[in-house]
Amino acid sequence: MDKVVVITGASSGIGAALAEAAAARGARVVLVARREHELKEVAARCRGNAAIVVADVTIRADVRRAVAEAIQRFGRIDVWVNNAGRGISRLPSELTDADIDLMMSVNVKSAMYGMQEVLPHFRERGAGQVINVSSMLGRIPYALPRSAYSAAKHFLNALTANFRMEVQARFPGIRFTIVSPGVVYTDFGLHALHGGHDSRNLPGGQDVGVVADAIVDAIESGAEEVYTLPGARERVVDYYAALGAS
């Protein structure tokens, strides 16, 4: 796979696994996150095909710098993966302004910055792919303590779809992909705002490598809607059909 892939949130979890999976298929990867030591460890596992950018993707200037450094290093960007995110454990009736602000900053605004800052490069080339890592909670809000996270991912899905509509009207070679995993066996849950359960102890989850491979497949195929769990798409359809029937 002769592509340059930029991955945010690449120091652990899905981002780190994706970096290794993409590099294993021949991609050159640019790893973006705040933790330099962890980024260097991930880069070392990418067979010499990785560069790192230490940046906070909730800051637009940092995202703009990441775009510039990726292009400077590899000459172009083919795929931009907005993977940075954070969960929350708080009932909807207890949410504060600060809770909502953080969920929007980490899960929505960081992705918006990525899309907006890489878009001029993609327009200039007439091609490119944005992959936004969403969640099944962005389709079905079934986890009550994750209400603000779920809402942020719903927002991200709508924003992605509208970017697709706007951009592809003039640049059909630029693609926007939404990836919706379910529970993934990482330490994501442990880092949730206000604490959380270890995702690795929850039922019905997936190994992070399986999710990473599904994202690499989406890069190779250009698919625009990806569910990593078997039967997940049907579950979403059934959920909204049941709402309509009530």
E-strand ranges in the chain read: 4-8, 28-33, 50-54, 79-82, 128-133, 174-180, 225-227
Please enumerate in sequence order all residues whose Cβ is within 8 A of that of 41, keeping only pairs 6 or more positions apart, or say none. none
* Alpha-carbon gap, residue 169 to 33, rounded angstroms: 32
**Residues with catalytic function:** 149
Q: What's the longest Cα–Cα distance across the chain? A: 55
The CA dihedral of 200, 202, 206, 212, to the nearest 10 degrees, is -50
